[in-house]
Each structure stands twice: as C-alpha cells, then as structure tokens.
Amino acid sequence: SQQGEEDPQALSIQEGENATMNCSYKTSINNLQWYRQNSGRGLVHLILIRSNEREKHSGRLRVTLDTSKKSSSLLITASRAADTASYFCATNGDSNYQLIWGAGTKLIIKP
C-alpha cells in the first residue's frame, strides 16, 4: 500500500542543478529507502537510511532523515540527463519485509 507522500509530484530542472525530493510518512520506522525507476524498468535501490541515522551519502546522493518530523529528503547534486527517472521512498517498520511506498516524484533533467 502507498501511505507515504512525496513532493513534488514532478520536478523539471536544468542539467547541472541540484534536485531535492521529499518524502513524509506516518508510522514509526526501522529504516527508509530510496529507489529509482527509469521508464519501463525495474526499481533500483539507491540508499537505505536507518531510523537512528540522520544523514547518509552515496556518490552524488545525499539523504536526510528527520524522525521527529517523519520526513526524509533525497538530494541529487550536479544533476545529469541520465538522472531522469521516477524516485520513490519506501519505509520498513516492524515487519521484516513489508515496505510502505510513497507515490513517487518524477524528475526530468533538461540538457
């Protein structure tokens, strides 16, 4: 089920600019994950941040987590045309496996 919310729903920026996407959730979590989906392709895991972490980096990606506000942000720095995709957040709570998904943000990078 999709109980998380992501904003914006769609984002279009120029290549080279930074892109920020936000995710809010409703329940307590064990971890929060970000995924990318290129059009017609499978979901690709980007980064997982645990509930006791506040920030995590992976290459040009920076994820923050604020459990007090039940929100997370994904920052892509120095965007490239290849970053054009939909980005989803998913939270993992008490269940070992069940993920609760956000609706996704469609990111378009203009060359």
Told to check if 77 binds another protein by CB under 8 A, we report no
Quote the least distance from Cβ 65 to another protein, whole Å.
Answer: 15
Q: Binding another protein by CB under 8 A: which of 13, 48, 61, 75?
A: 48
- Alpha-carbon gap, residue 76 to 58, rounded angstroms: 10
- Alpha-carbon gap, residue 37 to 96, rounded angstroms: 23
Contacts of 46 (CB under 8 A, 6+ apart): 33, 34, 35, 36, 58, 61, 74, 87
- CA-closest candidate to residue 58, choices 34, 40, 41: 34
Instruction: Name the residue nearer to another protein (CB basis): 31 or 67.
Output: 31
Quote the least distance from Cβ 32 to another protein, whole Å.
Answer: 10
Quote the least distance from Cβ 45 to another protein, whole Å.
Answer: 4
Q: Could you list the residues that contact another protein (CB under 8 A)?
A: 30-31, 33, 35, 37, 39-45, 48, 86, 90, 92, 96-97, 99
